[in-house]
Amino acid sequence: MKLWQKTSSNKKEVEKFTIGRDPEFDMLLAPFDVLGSMAHAIMLEKIGLLTKEELSILQKGLKEIYKEIEAGTFSIGQGVEDVHSQVEFLLTERYGDVGKKLHSGRSRNDQVLVDLKLYYREAIREVVTKKEHLFNQLMVLAEKHQDDLMPGYTHTQLAMPSSFGLWFSAMAESLCEDLLLWHSAFELVNQNPLGSAAGYGSSFPLDRTLTTQLLGFENLHYNVINAQNSRGKTEKFLSFAMAASAGTLNRLSSDIIQFMNQHFGFVSFPDELTTGSSIMPHKKNPDVFELMRAKSNQLQAAPQEVLLQLSNLTTGYHRDLQLLKETIFPGLQTLMDCLDMASFMLDYIVVNKGLLEDPFYDYLFSVEEVNRLVLKGMPFRDAYKKVGMDIEKGTFSPRHNVSHTHEGSVGNLCLTHIHEKMSSARKRFDFKSMESKLGELMGQP
């Protein structure tokens, strides 16, 4: 029996099809459902729909359930539709009719919406923390290897001298630029939908500003229809942020796979971090980075999945929206796993120094030679032609030194500025205020 049912029950075939993977995802939402209910109960007492004694009972019961969730002893019972129903059933079973009062002034629509917002907000905090850790690793490696030259490529052909410092810091700066999309997603996530009910408000005099403050939201979805329409839009923003980070990880992993190839030999990893072959004893396969490349490609498909799921939806709630969790929830976990694994692997990366001393890479320095002639007064077109002719005749013999000084070049990595860029991006996320408010909510009697 469902909370919304009167007398009849669904056929089991319909129930199985419509529930899908929701029980699995509802367990992830459980602690946030309790937090949302605690704030809602405080608001109901303020507007006179609960007595102080009833509020005290509900808060006690909700905190008990929260501790059970943390301890891993909470579960959704057989035949119970969702986490929202399970929490209400437990409160009613343990404390009587007061448990039935908690749903006043809200719908499962805005209840699941606030759960999702709180869950996504915490997930964004975890992603940003992991990205910041990986960023710091890359920046340490950039500083350590800023003078170690490596080939640079265009069109996958040898082009100009680069450096490991330049490559590591490129990946780092890309990570902090990805935070621009994460912050956009965070701003949308950090708005309170609670009180929008089924999408058209309530005749109860709800204090939506109070629940916004109690849950540490930065703002409120004021229009109740817009609050409901934010479901889907929120996932759209998250999917693009996920795809941006995945794009950076994809390039990182693709580069490393190539750099590990014996024909390149730019970097290596200990044997225990690679895999072998069942018939070729010499193999050291970059399976970790191949899987990271594949997983990041899956993540880059997330925006298309979300956009297609949202096609043709009219205003208001639709059951279609349930399936968004099947893209976003596993996607967030996959992204965090990839960030963790990238950090783990980079702890062991070994850079092959002195690469460009090999005459094989002489042509990389052709631009340096052209520029040296220009600086001595030769017109650029003449210098270009002279070096080109020397290459054709086989008489090109360059100097193996690079003297770039402009911002962001091999000789001036601007690491301090890139650190400042990350610091500025990181400060835009007000996680401390969010955590403080939820701490206060849990501490309320």
Here the CATH number for the domain that contains residue 177 is 1.20.200.10
Which H helix or E strand runs over 47? none
Lowest-confidence region among 21-25, 286-290, 414-418? 21-25
User: Which of 13-27, 107-121, 137-151, 217-231 bottoms out in mean pLDDT, i.e. has the lowest?
Assistant: 13-27
Quick: pLDDT tens for 124-162.
999 999 999 999 999 999 999 999 999 999 999 999 999
Q: 23: which residues sit within 8 A by CB, 6+ positions away?
A: 76, 82
Express as a percent the part of the chain with pLDDT over 70: 96
Same domain for 84 and 123, yes or no, is no
Which pLDDT does position 10 carry in this prediction?
57
- Do 268 and 384 lie in one domain? The reply is no
Evaluate whether residue 6 is within a structural domain: no
Structure tokens at 262: 């014996």
Instruction: Point out the residues that are catalytic.
Output: 155, 277
Which residues does 74 contact at the CB level (< 8 Å), separation at least 6?
A: 27, 30, 65, 68, 86
Q: What is the pLDDT of residue 280?
A: 72
- The answer as to whether 147 is a domain residue is yes
DSSP state of 7: S
Euclidean distance between CA atoms 320 and 117, whole angstroms: 18
Same domain, 117 and 244: yes
Do 89 and 166 lie in a common domain? Answer: no
- The total of other beta-carbon atoms located within 10 Å of residue 30's CB is 23
Check whether 3 has a pLDDT greater than 70: no
Q: Answer yes or no: is 7 within a domain.
A: no
270 found inside a domain: yes
Q: How far apart are CA 332 and CA 325, in angstroms?
A: 10
Residue 313 lies in a domain: yes
The pLDDT value given to residue 416: 97
Cβ count within 10 A of residue 112: 25
Instruction: Give the Å distances, CA to CA, from 82 to 106, 107, 440.
Output: 16, 13, 27
Let me know whether 119 and 252 are in one domain: yes
Q: What average pLDDT does the segment 22-31 reach?
A: 88
**251 and 137 together in one domain:** yes
DSSP 8-state secondary structure symbol assigned to residue 399:
-
Same domain assignment for residues 370 and 424? no
Contacts of 369 (CB under 8 A, 6+ apart): 387, 396, 398, 399
Write out pLDDT tens, residues 305-344. Answer: 999 999 999 999 999 999 999 999 999 999 999 999 999 9
CATH code assigned at 90: 1.10.275.10
Structural domain harbouring 22: 12-101
Q: Are residues 80 and 91 in the same domain?
A: yes
pLDDT at 9 over 60: no
Please say if the pLDDT value at position 1 is more than 50: no
440 within some domain: no
**Per-residue pLDDT tens over the stretch 429-444:** 999 999 999 999 998 7
Q: Are residues 305 and 386 in the same domain?
A: no
pLDDT of residue 5: 53
Residues 269 and 336 both lie in one domain: yes
Q: Residue 423 pLDDT more than 60?
A: yes
Say whether 323 sits in a helix, a strand or coil: helix
Neighbours of 103 (CB within 10 A): 17
Residue 48 Ramachandran class (φ > 0 left, ψ -120 to 50 alpha, else beta): left
Per-residue tokens: 220: 């409120």
**Alpha-carbon span 236 to 77, nearest angstrom:** 32
Do both 283 and 135 map to the same domain? yes
Assess whether pLDDT exceeds 90 at residue 174: yes
CA–CA gap between residue 22 and residue 326 (Å, rounded): 9
23 within some domain: yes
Task: Give the pLDDT mean for 285-294.
Answer: 95
Q: Measured over all CA atoms, what is the biggest interatomic distance in the chain, rounded to whole angstroms?
A: 94
Segment 110-117 mean pLDDT: 96
Is residue 347 domain-resident? yes
pLDDT averaged over every residue in the chain: 92
170 and 36 together in one domain? no
User: How many independent structural domains does the chain possess?
Assistant: 3
